[in-house]
């Protein structure tokens, strides 16, 4: 197992490599970066592996209203704590960690509400691409770079707030634990924590990429009845069945009826739970309208581009359907991620199965290309 690098002086800015997004719509640039030491309440991580998520591509595309450049993207990373700033007690140098784009301070109104995993403590600065004190720890070509989602895992070293990191057992390799930093946890949590799918309930999952497949495994865990995967790519049927789908529907192959009408027929009146894992607002509408009158709940997970809006007849809600959404599946990272790691180690949570592609950091643009191909579930980038 890789040991933490001890030769780095906590007081120095030191050079390493990163994939930098200098502007929207351009490929990432693999080059030197200086990463400053962690300040009070911060943690510097040697990133060992990172996944590439569609949200990284979404922000890189320029469609994210919060997207700003130049920036170090990446939010699905795991590695080792290299150094900690003053006052940090929650993790130690040498700990194996997963970065958390949804932090957990346990002190703010959100954290204390018991109603949400969204933490308010650093959301404003995180959204502006800076550390909680308003400054950046990244420099390249003589310029400050922005942080992304409080994590910036496309750098061999990154600095995050101490509330944006969770220590996990080193028994889980970092090329697996990184995927718990977004896609797998998001889908599984959406089914188990946010929707709380009940035994015997009928579930439809729209879009069975990484997130949707993990919704399927959450639905299986909670013993759902019919588990219907909906995807425009027929190649996803085998994947969906492997993750527990009982049915597969390609909506482009239905003649004379909509996908919502088809699902309502299949489930004697509509699904108990539906999930949008596409980011397409038309699909979000279909997912809501495929819900059972009186109680069906539709969970929006997909991220839609700036300017996109959802619509349906208000009558759909008047008649008892519920439209909701979640980030990171509703999972509180510092409290609940170690439990998901245990589930993985006990063979109760699929993680390995999601890895279809691998790339070194120097070829991260290939990971972005592969992600857009229909046969990629997750590409894991080796940062070393």
The DSSP code sequence of 221-261 is HTT-S-EEEE-S-TTHHHHHHHTT-SEEE-GGG--SS-HHH
Are the C-beta atoms of residues 239 and 222 closer than 8 Å to each other? no
What is the closest distance, in whole angstroms, from the C-beta atom of residue 170 to ligand NAD in the complex?
25
| Residue 304: how many other CB atoms lie within 10 Å | 18
Identify the residue whose tokens are 């800015």. 13
Tell me whether strands 227-230 and 247-249 are parallel, antiparallel or unpaired.
Answer: parallel
| Known catalytic membership, residue 378 | yes
| Residue 123: how many other CB atoms lie within 10 Å | 15
Q: Mapping DSSP to helix (H, G, I), strand (E, B) and coil, where does residue 127 land?
A: helix
Work out which of 154, 243, 273, 328 binds ligand NAD, going by CB under 6 A: 328
> How far apart (Å, rounded) are the C-alpha atoms in residues 126 and 301?
20
The single residue of 39, 108, 116, 356 carrying the catalytic annotation is 108
Give whichever of 132 and 296 is closer to ligand AHE, judged by the CB atom.
Answer: 132
Residue 116 in the binding site for ligand NAD (CB under 6 A): no
Total residues contacting ligand NAD by CB under 6 A comes to 30
Tokens of 353: 């199965």
Residue 207 in the binding site for ligand NAD (CB under 6 A): yes
**Going by C-beta distance under 8 Å and a sequence separation of 6 or more, which residues neighbour residue 68?**
128, 129, 146
Q: How far is CA 155 from CA 134, 144, 212, 226, 335, in A?
A: 20, 14, 28, 42, 26
Residue 55 in the binding site for Zn ion (CB under 5 A): yes
Sign of the Cα pseudo-torsion (195, 199, 202, 208, in order): positive
Footprint of ligand AHE (CB under 6 A) = 53, 55, 64-66, 101-102, 118, 123, 182, 303, 327
| 35 DSSP β-pair partners | 14, 138
Residue 357 in the binding site for ligand NAD (CB under 6 A): no
The single residue of 54, 262, 292, 321 carrying the catalytic annotation is 54
The single residue of 53, 210, 271, 277 carrying the catalytic annotation is 53
The single residue of 76, 82, 104, 297 carrying the catalytic annotation is 76
The single residue of 59, 111, 178, 274 carrying the catalytic annotation is 111
Q: Which does 233 bind (CB under 5 to 8 A by kind): Zn ion, ligand NAD, ligand AHE, none?
A: ligand NAD
What is the closest distance, in whole angstroms, from the C-beta atom of residue 58 to Zn ion in the complex?
9
Give whichever of 37 and 212 is closer to Zn ion, judged by the CB atom.
Answer: 212
Q: Would you please indicate which residues are annotated as catalytic (active-site) residues?
A: 53-55, 75-76, 105, 108, 111, 119, 123, 182, 378
Residues at the contact surface with ligand NAD, assessed by CB under 6 A: 53-55, 58, 182-183, 186, 206-212, 230-233, 236, 251, 277-280, 283, 301-303, 327-328
């Amino acid at each position: 197992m890789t040991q933490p690098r001890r030769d780095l002086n906590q007081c120095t800015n030191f050079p390493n490599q990163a994939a930098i997004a200098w502007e929207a719509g351009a490929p990432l640039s693999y080059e030197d970066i200086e990463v400053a030491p962690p300040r009070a309440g911060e943690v510097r991580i040697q990133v060992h592996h990172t996944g590439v998520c569609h949200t990284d591509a979404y922000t890189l595309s320029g469609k994210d209203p919060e997207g700003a450049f130049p920036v170090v993207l990446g939010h699905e990373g795991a590695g080792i704590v290299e150094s900690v700033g003053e006052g940090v007690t929650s993790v130690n140098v040498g700990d194996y960690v997963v970065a958390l784009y949804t932090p957990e301070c346990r002190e703010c109104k959100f954290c204390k509400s018991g109603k949400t995993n969204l933490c308010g403590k650093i959301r404003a600065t995180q959204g502006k691409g800076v550390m909680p004190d308003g400054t950046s720890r990244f420099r390249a070509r003589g310029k400050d770079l922005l942080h992304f989602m409080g994590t910036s895992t496309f750098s061999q070293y990154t600095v995050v707030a101490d509330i944006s990191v969770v220590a996990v057992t080193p028994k889980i390799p970092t090329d697996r634990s990184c995927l718990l930093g977004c896609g797998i946890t998001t889908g599984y949590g959406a089914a188990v924590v946010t929707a709380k799918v009940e035994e015997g309930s009928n579930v439809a999952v729209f879009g069975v990429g990484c997130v949707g497949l993990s919704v399927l495994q959450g639905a299986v865990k909670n013993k759902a009845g019919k588990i219907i995967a909906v995807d425009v790519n027929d190649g996803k049927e085998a994947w969906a069945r492997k993750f527990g789908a009982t049915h597969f529907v390609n909506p482009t192959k239905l003649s004379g009826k909509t996908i919502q009408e088809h699902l309502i027929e299949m489930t004697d009146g509509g699904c108990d739970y539906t999930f949008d894992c596409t980011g397409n607002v038309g699909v979000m509408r279909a997912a809501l309208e495929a819900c059972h009158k009186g109680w069906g709940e539709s969970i929006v997970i997909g991220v839609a581009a700036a300017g996109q809006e959802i619509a349906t007849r208000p009558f759909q809600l008047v008649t008892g359907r519920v439209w909701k959404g979640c980030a990171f599946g509703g999972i509180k990272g510092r409290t609940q991620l170690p439990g998901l790691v245990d589930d993985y180690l006990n063979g109760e949570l699929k993680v390995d199965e999601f890895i279809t592609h691998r790339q070194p950091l120097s070829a991260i643009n290939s990971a972005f290309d592969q992600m857009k191909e229909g046969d990629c579930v997750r590409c894991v980038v080796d940062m070393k």
